[in-house]
Amino acid sequence: MSRTKGDSIVGKKPAVGAGEKGKRILCIGAGYVGGPTMAMIARKCADYTVTVVDVDAARIRAWQSDKLPIYEPGLDELVSVCRDRNLFFSEDVAGNIEQADIIFVSVNTPTKKSGHGAGRAPDLQYWEKTAREILSNAKTDKIVIEKSTLPVRTAGAMARILHSGESSVRFEVLSNPEFLAEGTAVSDLELPDRVLIGGRETDSGRHAVAELVKIYRHWVPEERILTTSVWSSELSKLAANAFLAQRVSSINSLSAVCEATGADIQEVAKAIGMDTRIGGKFLNAGIGFGGSCFKKDILHLVYLCESCGLPEAADYWRQVTEINEYQQRRFVAGILSAMFNTVAGKRVAILGFAFKPDTGDTRESPAIGICKRLLEEGADLVVSDPQALENAERDLSEWEGKVIFEKDPYKAASGSHALVVLTGWKAYEGLDFARIYDSMVRPSFVFDGPGKLNHRELHEVGFNVYPIGKTPLTRS
Ligand SMILES: NC(=O)c1ccc[n+]([C@@H]2O[C@H](COP(=O)([O-])OP(=O)(O)OC[C@H]3O[C@@H](n4cnc5c(N)ncnc54)[C@H](O)[C@@H]3O)[C@@H](O)[C@H]2O)c1
């Protein structure tokens, strides 16, 4: 690292083509993070040219079309304002690296499926391939920014790869983890709680941090931009997700206690959440967390603790994922027990498959495991979701013939023995449940995973109602 110490990246050897629209920003990885994040930067920084590249040509074509590859409220409008103005999508990774001054790396960092650390360690092959691509195509100095969530000290490894060749090109690596949540990505990007930037305490490091701060200062107030060491920044992202997931597992573990004792989890959550030291967010009991990040980031934290020789810390965080799986097993066991210990041959309507409302993303959605368990028990499923049916079809492809995919919840419910609500879509709260009840087989059941429905009304309509963490409302 001594080769970059004290050197300024900023202002040296401007990249080819830079100038007509200020500096050139490149983002490698056009996924759930890369696409929306770069669209927001382009929207707020008309003086920069922003290009997003990906090896997935179909994804790039979708970003260039009217049907974006991801569903996110407000994203269509955001992209349409700046696309082809100062926001571009391209398959040309090498050519765009050469042109860029500032490169965000937003590639996927899944958990390893095999080999050393399988099931816990991050799979860094996409990230390392990107680092090598930057090295072989860069002809001018660059600031390289980790946007992907990465283990602590990855920026150091990135810098070593980038400086491993013969070239005199200099790179400064920053950590700038993304805290957006799917479903609210656009508003999270527009009004972030904080922007975290980790950089080295050298002249070159400070200059690079200042360059990135300059970008965010186009719309983020100064007091919300937090600069730290690179390692603190990397660890803070893992820690933030671990804390959020831990709250979900904590309340879910208490939901089991509520069911066993007759206490009501919503009353308990309200009572503890009103303590200002605790706060009320992330205290909704349900079927557990999903999404591409929580489980993976906790497991990566577990692996980090193990690698640092901290088995007690590793066990502590591992338990958060174990409670998450326990909650899903418990939910299915509750369905079976209520439905006379068998769902074989029964039509069951699944309302919601996305891992949370307002997204079509089904990665690590609890719905996948719950549906598979019900199918293994012999149920005939009708899966409904406003945005996630394409992904659901892919996730359940091995069960072809046993699952019907139906967007309309009324059609999905018709002829079913049970409604199993797995995603808290707002639209489900406004359904005409009397109409639905009339179309179902008796006795009719509702299992409300997210706990958002009006249980008393459902009971009055005629349903046997099974919320999580509450006494069921049954009919004789
Ligand atoms: N999804 C979220 O809500 C979220 C939030 C915060 C942070 N993150 C983190 O951000 C990172 C990206 O997440 P995501 O959800 O956007 O992933 P994603 O899978 O949606 O997108 C990653 C993209 O990178 C592309 N890619 C992989 N290797 C490449 C290469 N060598 N060159 C060019 N493109 C390449 C893939 O084709 C893919 O389109 C992950 O580390 C994740 O943990 C995600």
- Per the prediction, the chain carries an average pLDDT of 95
27 is catalytic: no
Closest CA to 367 of 346, 347, 391: 391
Q: What are the pLDDT digits (tens) for 201-254?
A: 999 999 999 999 999 999 999 999 999 999 999 999 999 999 999 999 999 999
Q: What distance in Å separates the CA atoms of residue 31 and residue 19, rounded to the nearest whole number?
A: 28
Whether 107 lines ligand 1, by a CB cut-off of 6 Å, is yes
Whether 59 lines ligand 1, by a CB cut-off of 6 Å, is yes
15: confidence class by pLDDT, cuts 50, 70, 90:
very low
Whether 126 lines ligand 1, by a CB cut-off of 6 Å, is yes
pLDDT at 21: 60
424: confidence class by pLDDT, cuts 50, 70, 90:
very high
> For the residues 395-411, what does the mean pLDDT come to?
97
pLDDT at 166: 86
Ligand 1 pocket test, candidate residues 108, 124, 293, 365, most atoms within 8 A of CB: 108
pTM: 0.93
pLDDT at 20 over 80: no
DSSP secondary structure of 223-278: GGEEEE-HHHHHHHHHHHHHHHHHHHHHHHHHHHHHHHHT--HHHHHHHHHTSTTT
In the reported structure, the alpha carbon of residue 476 is separated from the centroid of ligand 1 by a whole-number distance in angstroms of 51
DSSP secondary structure of 182-196: TTSHHHHHHS-S-EE
476: confidence class by pLDDT, cuts 50, 70, 90:
confident
Residue from 293, 305, 308, 371 carrying the catalytic annotation: 293
Q: What are the pLDDT digits (tens) for 169-189?
A: 999 999 999 999 999 999 999
Give the closest residue (by CA) to ligand 1 atom 12: 108
pLDDT at 146: 97
Q: What distance in Å separates the CA atoms of residue 78 and residue 22, rounded to the nearest whole number?
A: 21
In the reported structure, the alpha carbon of residue 128 is separated from the centroid of ligand 1 by a whole-number distance in angstroms of 13
Contact status, residue 448 vs residue 466, Cβ threshold 8 Å: yes
CB atoms within 10 A of CB 268: 18
pLDDT at 165: 82
In the reported structure, the alpha carbon of residue 66 is separated from the centroid of ligand 1 by a whole-number distance in angstroms of 21
**Domain 24-228 class in CATH:** alpha beta
pLDDT at 324: 98
In the reported structure, the alpha carbon of residue 361 is separated from the centroid of ligand 1 by a whole-number distance in angstroms of 13
Q: What are the pLDDT digits (tens) for 115-145?
A: 999 999 999 999 999 999 999 999 999 999 9
Ligand 1 pocket test, candidate residues 26, 27, 28, 32, most atoms within 8 A of CB: 32
Task: Indicate which atom in ligand 1 lies nearest the CA of residue 130.
Answer: 31
Whether 175 lines ligand 1, by a CB cut-off of 6 Å, is no
167: confidence class by pLDDT, cuts 50, 70, 90:
confident
Q: What are the pLDDT digits (tens) for 355-380?
A: 999 999 999 999 999 999 999 999 99
> For the residues 443-472, what does the mean pLDDT come to?
98
Ligand 1 pocket test, candidate residues 107, 130, 135, 154, most atoms within 8 A of CB: 107
pLDDT at 4: 35
Give the closest residue (by CA) to ligand 1 atom 11: 148
pLDDT at 51: 98
Q: Coil, strand or helix: which one is 319?
A: helix
Whether 37 lines ligand 1, by a CB cut-off of 6 Å, is no
CA angle 23, 26, 32 (to 5 degrees): 135
Q: What distance in Å separates the CA atoms of residue 241 and residue 244, rounded to the nearest whole number?
A: 5
In the reported structure, the alpha carbon of residue 179 is separated from the centroid of ligand 1 by a whole-number distance in angstroms of 13
Task: Indicate which atom in ligand 1 lies nearest the CA of residue 185.
Answer: 3
In the reported structure, the alpha carbon of residue 148 is separated from the centroid of ligand 1 by a whole-number distance in angstroms of 7
CA dihedral 452, 344, 366, 33 (to 10 degrees): -100
